[in-house]
Structure 1
């Protein structure tokens, strides 16, 4: 029993089930998780989707069998991104699960769970109950197993996204879409065509990792004379954009543009941002009449605060964008639709639209391996408490200075690592603060 309990503790984190296949998460573990989820929700039907990674369909089948053996039916959504499952769960008001994973050898898989209405299941809202069931005896099978109902979701998902953003009457646009052998190759054409001329890049749906870097998007935009470039990760969850020059558009600029569009529909509404979001995006929200709300980094924190405050929109420094009209969930493709609509209706170039929305120099994320991340955070707190920095501990340690510069140091959840972000008014100020923070963190004993 202790071995089973240890496995349960390893694969159940704060936000879902996660483990390397098959050492930590195998078909038996997926089956047990499905059974535990069916018992947790008590729902007569559960939607199940998966991504395009090689092991995901088999894990999804095993998860679904656990549900069936507890007497519930399975809506088999087949391949689909996380926001497609959100759409299915929200529209039909049923619980759901998505089996997904990172690319590359040994990348861990994850099973993301949501209750009816696309409400995420996390620590404190059900994961702890699943952990206990996984650590206990195998649940008995029901005498009346459920049935599998095919429920392909992609077409309905595309219709839902198009209903939220009006592309009618936009000027002709050429849009490069880079879908590196991932889900966006299935979804982007359904959503964007025929409103724009779509130039596909790496649309061969595959389980293999692509070796080409993201630089390829900007080069293809310049070569084809496109108006915009959109790049998605393999799960179509993160969005990166480049303008007509092939220059990257920062998440801060995307937040500024999309927030302004959502605030035009809901004047004075709140907009949630994680604490690492650039000050330029926050100032843009204020200029558009919105109320910026700061929260911890992460999907669960942003969705929770949006629902609590009735926020119109939410954005993160990592390229995730959240919408009140989409069950407060994130959708990279919905954010992309907003960019296309703004570009198509404005008659201006994207470089003109984003000018001024990324004016503060940033360090980007700096990861430092340390032996004891907690000790490193205490060291940062002690050092900067003796300065004129205003400190808070909403998520790690954040220090803000009177000149507008700030830093954040957070501990990674699963590895001995701290993540550092720094922003300032000038490049020299940013570099100086960055080196100061790094020196304090580096004084900790390095991890091996």
Structure 2
């Protein structure tokens, strides 16, 4: 079946179901289109990697063939985590693509692409051009590119470790649930030889995900990690998604730590090293994040949601770090790309000098109650947003990304999905009871 380009090209990547939406022929066409796109900027070679999904080897090989048919050399990285691809792109100053469907279940695959230096490629920065060229069909070059292989895991490990003082790490017991994803390759490699004790759940690379989905944003997928943390009396639990670019924490009492609290911990750590630096946070992060940044002497910069937007904002402001509530953490010295493992080591460094434990460290940032992200299917997102905005005429509002309404002691953001007929609600208030009350109030307006 032909690849359904309209279905698989999203705002920031390519993603769809294998067979009916994306196949090897589609991967080959996209590889050729990607080659033509990067060649226009002077690139002569591209990096290609893949995660552990069953069709990844076939799809990445086809993508490489498409690129080589258009005169571009291919550097095959083999199995790699997404943040490893970003590192290689920055380190070698080459464009790159990794075949992954991130946290999506078995049966999905896709492609995350970046320009040289790990520059983001999204719908507004090249993805639509690549889609158009893939649909138009090949325009092969007279000269055919070559394929070489390169092992970059050891270089990547050294790079990740460079963000912390490894001598300051305490012998913490860390349970890591990599959910049969690419964390099974990179997590033990980074931990090896460090004064940390790693208890590893589901390390086998298996894209059928036999134990549970590799989506730590869903509470049910943290249950095994939580049980193991209590069973072995661990200092911390860490959950990674399928391509290992996102990381979520569980404290020593098995309580999940929000991405906002993790952002605040890392922000405070980096501001100790570079006082006064700018820190990026997206607009659905807790109020705790800009408060913590200001308290540590930094400058908080609020942005829309999305990795391309975060990376561009970091380039524009010179920010040292950026965090998203969804578990993405970006570092200036990581070519402004996100890395779950760099974030993990930085949290472990902070925890090493905080003997009271992670729950105590997080308590500094546990200031408000949150709804989490609540999705509602709607026929016309724009009409609903205007109706909700009209219900709060005296509140402070902005349209940076959807609608944000600030009512003093509580606030909410309502924004449309880029890919589905959904409205996403994030709401924060002083207490859980008030969160429930206010969520019901907003959902009544939506309905």
Matching of residue 333 in structure 1 with residue 341 in structure 2: yes
Q: What is the CA deviation profile of residues 55-94 of structure 1, one whole-angstrom value per residue up to 9, with x for unaligned ones?
A: 2221111110011111221110011111100110100101
Q: Tell me if the contact between 2:10 and 2:418 (Cα under 8 Å) persists in the aligned partners.
A: no
The answer to whether the 8 A contact 1:31-1:65 is kept is: yes
TM-superposed deviation, 1:342:
1.0
Match of 1:392 among 391, 398, 405: 398
* Cross-structure match for 1:208: 208
Partner of 1:445: none
Aligned to 1:237, the other structure's residue is in SS state coil
Equivalent in the alignment of 2:445: 440
* Equivalence for 2:105: 104
Q: Post-superposition shift, 1:105?
A: 4.8
CA contact (8 A) 1:53 1:103 kept: no
Per mean C-alpha deviation after superposition, the further-off stretch among 421-430 and 11-20 is 11-20
Is 1:401 matched with 2:402? no
Equivalent runs, 1:284-433 vs 2, <5 Å: 284-385=292-393, 388-403=394-409, 405-433=410-438
Alignment deviations for residues 99-120 of structure 1 (CA, whole Å, 9 cap, x no partner):
111443543x221111111101
1:135-154 aligned within 5 A: 135-140=135-140, 142-154=141-153
Change (3 A) 1:357 1:423: same
- When normalised by structure 1's length, the TM-score is 0.93
| Cα distance in 2 for residues equivalent to 1:182 and 1:275 | 29
Asked whether the equivalents of residues 168 and 349 of structure 2 are also in contact (C-alpha less than 8 Å), the reply is no
Partner-residue secondary structure (3-state), 2:74: strand
Which residue pairs with 1:40 in the alignment?
A: 37
Do structure 1's residue 60 and structure 2's residue 60 form an aligned pair?
yes
Match of 1:278 in 2: 286
Cα distance in 1, alignment partners of residues 10 and 200 from structure 2: 36
Q: Do the aligned partners of 2:56 and 2:99 also contact (CA within 8 Å) in 1?
A: yes
Q: Distance in 2 between matches of 1:76 and 1:154?
A: 13
- In 1, Cα distance between equivalents of 2:37 and 2:74: 15
Deviations 1:169-216 (A, max 9, x none): 432211111111111111111112222011111112212124443111
Pairing 1:68-107 to 2, within 5 Å after superposition = 68-101=68-101, 102-107=103-108
Aligned residues: 434
Bigger CA drift: 7-16 or 124-133?
A: 7-16
TM-score of the superposed pair, with normalisation by structure 2: 0.93
Shift of the alpha carbon at 1:439? 0.5
The residue matched to 2:368 in structure 1 has which SS?
Answer: coil
Task: Check conservation: 2:16, 2:110, Cα contact below 8 A.
Answer: yes
5+ residue gaps, structure 2, are 213-220
Q: Which residue of 1 aligns with 2:12?
A: 15
Check conservation: 1:252, 1:358, Cα contact below 8 A.
Answer: no
- SS of the equivalent of 1:22 reads coil
Distance in 1 between residues matched to 2:324 and 2:8, nearest whole Å: 26
Aligned-pair Cα RMSD in Å: 1.8
Q: Which residue of 1 aligns with 2:113?
A: 113
Provide the C-alpha distance between the structure 2 equivalents of 1:334 and 1:105, rounded to a whole number of angstroms: 27
What's the counterpart of residue 239 of structure 2?
Answer: 231
User: Could you tell me how far apart the structure 2 residues matched to 1:123 and 1:247 are?
Assistant: 37
What is the distance in 1 between the residues matched to 2:132 and 2:229?
51
Q: Are residue 24 (structure 1) and residue 29 (structure 2) matched?
A: no
Asked if residue 168 in structure 1 is aligned to residue 173 in structure 2, the reply is no
Q: Which moved more, 1:342-351 or 1:85-94?
A: 342-351
| Structure 1 stretches lacking a partner, 5+ long | 443-448
3-state SS of the aligned residue for 2:369? coil
